Structure 1
Amino acid sequence: MFVTGGGVPVRHPAQHRRMTPTRTPRLRAYLATTIRILRQLAGDHRSVAMIVAVPTLIITLMYFMFEGLPHRPGTPAPFNNACLIMLGVFPLIVMFLITSITMQRERVSGTLERILTTPLHRFDLLAAYGTAFSIAAAVQATLACVVAFWLLGFQTAGSPALVFLIAIVNAVLGVGLGLLCSAFARTEFQAVQFMPLVIAPQLLLCGIIVPRDLMPEWLQWISNALPASYALEALQQVGAHAEPTAIAVRDIAVVVGFAALALALAAATLRRRTP
């Protein structure tokens, strides 16, 4: 606008509103979605039992199974080896199942479509799921590690904090893979069917049953492309070395990269409408 004696620039209110960042509504929607998912999980007692109680109970059962078994002096107790594997495997399996089933339930019920009509973007939605399930995984890992280290006598050469960190990273990986697989499922049963396809090969080839270096070369190449192999190797490094090794740091970074890639692919394949 111009007046006599000079010009006074006036910014149009509509232009000002368009230039205002929209981060605050998105942040509020993200936080609201995260809280809603946590409340929904808390109300599902079977899911709470699977996330929190079942891993701890199975680790306790394994303690009594391996108690008293002979082992050569100077070698880790059989329970130590088994518990180390379980602390890495359980978060991956449990969070994959819970996430894929819950996400498919949200899609079938129409909740997902309603959420995507809000200012919440697809990546924000998946970030909310990742945050909520990571919190649940932290509770699971905390309880399992406390019971294993302080009640069952589980020991590692490295810090228990590193075992806890790797368990959380594995859980986030399970969340990312669960979100990604749920995009290709039409029912909750189909979501569960992805587990033998996605999780079972990783457990078979990560070195739990047969050491990776004893496998045929072509199986070693496949094993090197699977994130569970690096997760187990990182745990083994923590179990054998008092200080964090370069291999352990590398393996944790690789698993984090796989988790981030799975979340990004899940965001890219998330459908706005349920077919």
Structure 2
Amino acid sequence: MTITRTFATAGRVLTQIRHDPRTVGLLLVVPSLLIGLVAWIFTDTDVFSDIGPAMIALFPFIVMFLVTSISTLRERRSGTLERLLSMPTGKGDFILGYALAFGLLAVFQTAIAVSFAVWVCGLEIEGSIWLLFAVAVADALLGTALGLLASAFARSEFQVVQFMPLLVFPQILLGGIFIPRDQLPEGLEVISEWLPLSFAIDALQAVAADSESAEWITAKILVICAWIVGSIVLGSVTLRRRTP
């Protein structure tokens, strides 16, 4: 694994995406539109101020998971990965290159989504906007890493979608969006405390309300980063050269 090959892979991925306007729109525009739709639904209430931070965590996470997993799977199904691995490029270069490319897109996606939520939808942030941005970026990168992990096991785009009930939906249901996590049944509360999206939602809500210290929020970000690194490592180890 070398830095040169990793950056070359990332550059190739970004070039491909740049020539696909629909994917660009899905990555950069759709999360903000969904956040705006939620804000519009609750225009005359205070609900959006309560769930807005969770929406910043939720929509980018889902979009990054889907786009990353399907794009990586297509590389394998088309034989591109097998051709790359027949050259000096290794699995680590491939996975890290994809992570770098989609990580860069996640930064732009997050900047747009956070800016839209705060300055267009009127989401009030009591804490640091930069800390909010840092948590949101980590959350989007989490979606990317889990997407890479899912693509290593899936054999088709349909199987990628099947991974959503396993990797995504439980985190949404237990992340504290619909009911505070401390009000969940004891067993589910314990499970929710180990799910990475729960850390992102907790941190975003804490920044929005300015209810926790920067050190507490940084600790949440570090946990999310540990999940990101673990997912990328596991994805590179289990990645197959070609899908039969």
Counterpart pick for 1:133 among 102, 125, 130: 102
Partner of 2:39: 63
Q: CA RMSD in A?
A: 1.6
Q: Which moved more, 1:114-123 or 1:104-113?
A: 114-123
1:206 to 147, 172, 175: 175
Structure 1 distance, partners of 2:142, 2:153, is 18
Aligned position for 1:113: 82
Q: How does 1:15-164 map to 2 (within 5 A)?
A: 26-69=2-45, 77-164=46-133
Long gaps (5+) in structure 1: 1-22, 70-76
Q: Which has the higher contact order (CA 8 A, sep 6+)?
A: 2
Separation in 2, partners of 1:145, 1:210: 23
Q: State how 1:192-231 maps to structure 2 within 5 Å.
A: 192-231=161-200
Per-residue deviation, residues 151-171 of structure 1 (Å, max 9, x unmatched): 232211111111211111111
Q: Following the alignment from structure 1 to structure 2, what is the Cα–Cα distance between the partners of residues 242 and 156?
A: 11
Matches within 5 A, 1:243-258: 244-258=213-227
CA distance in 2, matches of 1:243, 1:222: 22
Q: How much has 1:103 moved relative to structure 2? A: 0.8
Note the C-alpha offset of 1:242.
Answer: 6.9
Aligned to 2:155: 186
Give ranges in structure 2 of 5+ residues lacking alignment. Answer: none
Q: Deviations over 1:35-65 (max 9, x none)?
A: 1101111222221111111111122222222
State the identity as a percent. Answer: 44
Q: Would the aligned equivalents of 2:126 and 2:209 in 1 still touch at CA under 8 Å?
A: yes
Q: Which amino acid aligns with 1:28?
A: T
When Rg is computed on C-alpha atoms for both structures, the one with the higher figure is 1
**Paired amino acid for 1:144:** A
The superposition leaves residues 168-214 of structure 1 with CA deviations (integer Å, 9 ceiling, x where unpaired) of 11111111111111111111111111111110001101111121111
Quote the Cα distance in structure 2 between the aligned partners of 1:27 and 1:251: 29
Distance 2:205 2:20 in 1: 34
**Structure 1 partner of 2:243:** 274
What TM-score does the superposition give when structure 1 sets the normalisation length? 0.84
Q: Are the counterparts in 1 of residues 76 and 241 from structure 2 also a CA contact under 8 Å?
A: no
| 4+ runs deviating over 6 angstroms | none
Give the AA of the match of 1:50: L
Separation in 2 of the partners of 1:61 and 1:216?
Answer: 31
Comparing 262-271 and 55-64, the one that deviates more? 55-64
Question: Which structure's residues are more often helix, by fraction?
Answer: 2
User: Aligned residues, how many?
Assistant: 244
Query: Conserved in 1, the CA contact under 8 Å of 2:9 and 2:93?
Result: no
Q: Distance in 1 between matches of 2:236 and 2:143?
A: 15
The DSSP-based 3-state class of the residue aligned with 1:167 is: helix
Q: Give the Å deviation of 1:125.
A: 1.3
